[in-house]
Amino acid sequence: MKLLLTLGLSLLLTACVTPTGNRAAPTNGEKVTWQSVACTGAPVICNRMDATGYFFAQPNATAAVMITHGSQGLDSRLFEYADAARAAGFAALVIDHWSPRGIGVTHNDYVAAAQKGGNEFNMAFDSLTAVAWLRQRGFAKVGSIGESQGGGAAIALVQRWIHETVNRNVTRLYGKPFTAQPPDAVVGLYGYCGLRHAPRDAYLPTPFLFITGAEDDETPSRYCEQYVPWMNGRGGAAKIIVLPGVGHSFDAPYRRQRNSSGPHYANCNLLVEAGPDGRGKVTELNSGTVTAGQDTWGAFSKCVRYGGYHSGYTGDRFVAVPHWTGFFREHLR
């Protein structure tokens, strides 16, 4: 039965078409813009920015799914997500977070990319303002799915402090009140879950689904497994599916490969605590290393590794699709 379901889904994805008769791609989507914010530099300065994306309509759809890429930016998998969302009856908005910020990829140097706005914080600005844009277009419900770095950004969409920051900056920059609404359902695919911030973390009760691979050696599934009770104990409504036999980017448009360069944080499992002195501390739980204060970048610099991790597909690239489309059917109808 599972094999038949997988084969049927693969055929469905192949058959799914846009109104122009082609599978979703930048060339046949409606290129759209909406008002967002770019926060760059150190110290961080936030300015106006037009976010961009590709919108794919679906006849009679009352709900839309936002699609957020990982560190590599847009590739074909994002448009396959759009095809799958449309096959499930939803309109789709593929967000291009990097191009408006002049960024190519972020995975060669996450710290430098963050200075240009290439981080989960900025991705959340684009997505939360896109929720408002989609609601203005008449969609009653909005979902969001992000992969890899976009899977990490998915967590930000339900963080209360992120909403407060987005509200404050959008209101200030555009001169009119803005109140961010969370998506009605959020999916994070193989995102990083190895940072828990006790003084700050508080979540909205938005239905949230983590989907990770048991063999992921870049963003380990065990961190997301520990994050679910952490999230739910602070107001969240999360659950997790760990897929056996697959690793990071199990739905990527390339076969599993070993990456010999670039930073990754598989060895970083950070817990930030306030502490009685007010300064707090960051503990890397794998090694027991403690860093004074709450500077997570400083703590990350001690546990970051370079090369030696894997990404890419090994079997059925669409193995996660029934899980996340079913989740959206449950919560967006």
Q: The dihedral of CA 222, 223, 228, 230: what is its sign? A: positive
215 assigned to some structural domain: yes
Q: What pLDDT does residue 16 have?
A: 41
312 plus 291 within the same structural domain: no
CB 6 within 8 A of CB 316: yes
Residue ranges of the chain whose pLDDT lies below 50: 1-20
Cα separation values, 313 from 14, 118, 216, Å: 18, 25, 11
Contact 194, 151 (CB under 8 A): no
- Residue 22 has a pLDDT of 74
153 and 286 belong to one structural domain: no
293 part of a folded domain? yes
**143 with 250, same domain?**
yes
Do residues 289 and 211 share a domain? no
Residue 18 lies in a domain: no
What's the total number of domains in the chain? 2
100, 130 in Cβ contact below 8 A?
no
Same-domain status, 189 and 313 = yes
Nearest one of 217, 95, 200 to 147, comparing CA atoms: 95
Task: Give residue-wise pLDDT tens across range 10-64.
Answer: 434 443 433 445 799 999 999 999 999 999 999 999 999 999 999 999 999 999 9
How far apart are the C-alpha atoms of 232 and 41, rounded to whole Å? 33
How far apart are alpha carbons 107 and 97 in whole angstroms? 14
Q: 281 and 243 in one domain?
A: no
Residue 122 resides in a domain: yes
**Residue 21: per-residue pLDDT:** 53
For residues 76 and 168, membership in a common domain is answered with yes
Given this model, what pLDDT does residue 19 score? 40
153 and 287 inside one domain: no
**Are 312 and 290 in a shared domain?**
no
Both 138 and 99 in a single domain?
A: yes
Check whether residue 145 and residue 255 sit in a common domain: yes
Question: HEC profile for 118-143?
Answer: CCHHHHHHHHHHHHHHHHHCCCCEEE
Per-residue model confidence as pLDDT tens digits over 55-88: 999 999 999 999 999 999 999 999 999 999 999 9
290 and 323 together in one domain: no
In a domain, 201, yes or no: yes
Q: What is the pLDDT of residue 243?
A: 98
Find tokens 């009352």 and name the residue: 62
Structural domain contains residue 1: no
Question: Cα(161)–Cα(152) distance, rounded to whole angstroms?
Answer: 15
Residue 187 within a domain: yes
pLDDT given at position 278 = 77
Q: List the domain range (segments joined by +) for residue 298.
A: 268-303
Q: Is residue 204, in this structure, part of any structural domain at all?
A: yes
Look up tokens 């036999």; give the residue: 245
Torsion angle of alpha carbons 122, 285, 190, 95, nearest 10°? 0
Q: What CATH number has the domain bearing residue 154?
A: 3.40.50.1820
Cα 157 to chain center, whole Å? 9
pTM of the model: 0.93
